[in-house]
Chains A and B, each alone.
Chain A
Amino acid sequence: MLDDKKIVELFFKRSEQAIRELDSKYGKTCYTLAFNIVNCRRDAEECVNDAYLGAWNAIPPARPIPLLPYILKIVRNVSLKAYWRKESSKRNSTYTVAMEELEACIADKNNVEDIIEAKELASTIESFLDTLTVKERVIFMRRYAYVDTYSDIAKRVGISEKNVSVRLALIRKKMKKYLIERERFI
């Protein structure tokens, strides 16, 4: 398998081999993440393909080394959008429809505010993560960034599912306290 640098070079050369190499190296991880979010094989495949297209459009000028977190973040964003879209279509109440109508008018403003707010919150979460042990951090990230099941996390870190559940509960409790102290929990 090619190293990340060589794959990025292929992107820069606009060689479609870049997508094949990316898929060969990280496709399974990307698909698992997408599937954990959208819970549908076909949708997951679509999300991964959309993420590849996103990477194709972004590189160049971006030169993401390492490549894995970069592509995973794209997969995650695309999958979450698909998830919210799907959820939204399920809630066809008058309220949802009305809010969606309104959302269309204020989407741009909200997006900018959301992005700023999300970035600020991300910074607080990073500080919180730094207070955890490596194992706690991995458990947190695997659950909330990679959307892994308890069972998958248990296998990865070598503890029981029940233990994962207890540790996550303790981490959430700690995080709530941390966010409240920093007036981030509203």
Chain B
Amino acid sequence: MNAKLFSKAIGEIKDTYYEEAANYRRGKPVWVKWGSIAACLAVVVFTAFSVLPAYLGQQSTMDDPNKTAVKNPDNDTLPTTDNPNISMDKIIFNEIAELSDAARKKWYDPELYDTITWDKDKIIDYYGNDPTSMYVPDGLTAAPGNGTARVFVDKYGNVVEDTVWLGFFHDYYEDGSPKFTEDVAAVNGFSITASKIGLLNDCLYILPENEVTASDIGGTAVTFGYRSMPYGPYDSETHEPSGYYDMYVAEFEYDGIEYQIVAEQMEAEEVVKVVSSIIFGKDVTVGK
């Protein structure tokens, strides 16, 4: 086989593939700069819990949201030696220059669109599987608001917004939103946003274009981002933050589903484990 034959073969493939490539358009990006990272995160968290309560979590955490999330029971039967090994040396973290307002969502005219609520069965039916993390670090629990997803459909019943959101944090306030930690005014844990339609581009963070490098995890290109996040209270005179904590973002597409993971106050290795466990469908070992 040579390039010429390959080229001819490409010219012979079915029209449907050409059509798909011609008509594919990413979701319209809505970039909004934000001056205060802490304020934005608060909005993210608030919106996530008030507008996008969704849960595809593990059965154990679904049945009892207050129960500490555990690793998938199926994994307990897997021998450790079978687990894929990921080396942190191969993971590239791209520094996040700025963040978009991730909470900003498209507005759907109620005259044209309806909001419907999916239960867990419907979500799994739609996604074809349970698009949730197989690995949840110790000490994190499933968000109480999880369990359903609010999606938008047009008047013909076609799904136009299928974003679902999962949260796993160390603790929660009464209203269900994640609690800040005592020493650092920020949440501790991670959220997963998933979409088949591909609307996640609406809530991407901004990276310097030429510096973005994806990492290869099991053949899937994963873009990891990192930012040292300031937290309050801010000094009234110097406006300096009280300190900084780590925030990681991971974005990738796997099995036709786009994922965005935002982790705060977590170790990089733990974030890589969460991502890898989604891709491999089981626990992985992460080493140096």
Please give the residue numbers on chain A whose beta carbons come within 8 Å of chain B beta carbons, in ascending order: 29, 66, 68-70, 72-73, 76-77, 80, 84, 114-115, 117-119, 121-122, 125-126, 129, 133-138, 141-142, 144-146, 156-163, 166-167, 170, 173-174, 179, 184-186
Contact = CB atoms under 8 A, between A and B. Distances in A.
Interface in B204-263: 204, 207, 209-214, 216, 219-221, 223, 253-256, 258
Contacts of B112: none
Nearest to A177: B219
Contacts of A135: 24, 198, 253, 258
Interface in B1-22: 1, 4-22
B221 A119 contact: no
A158 B201 contact: yes
Contacts of B19: 66, 68-69
Contacts of B6: 121, 144
B276 to A, nearest CB: 16
Interface of B: 1, 4-22, 24-27, 29, 198, 201, 204, 207, 209-214, 216, 219-221, 223, 253-256, 258
A137 B5 contact: no
Tell me the dominant secondary structure on chain A's binding face.
helix
A134 B197 CA distance: 10
B254 to A, nearest CB: 7
A163 B27 CA distance: 17
B4 A156 contact: no
A68 B19 CA distance: 7
B13 A186 contact: no
Contact of A129 (B13, B201, B214): B13
A122 B11 CA distance: 8
B22 A68 contact: yes
Contacts, number: 133
Nearest to B29: A158
Given A118-B12, A144-B10, A184-B1, A138 B255 contact: no
B1 A121 contact: yes
B1 A185 contact: yes
Contacts of A145: 10-11, 13, 17-18, 21
A85 to B, nearest CB: 12
A173 B253 CA distance: 17
Q: Which 10 pairs across A and B sit closest by C-beta, in order of nearness?
A: A158-B26, A141-B21, A69-B18, A122-B12, A69-B15, A121-B9, A118-B8, A160-B212, A158-B201, A166-B214
Given A162-B210, A167-B214, A72 B4 contact: no
B5 A121 contact: yes
Given A133-B253, A160-B212, A184-B1, 5 more contacts: A121-B5, A121-B9, A121-B12, A166-B216, A170-B216
A158 B198 CA distance: 10
A41 B229 CA distance: 50
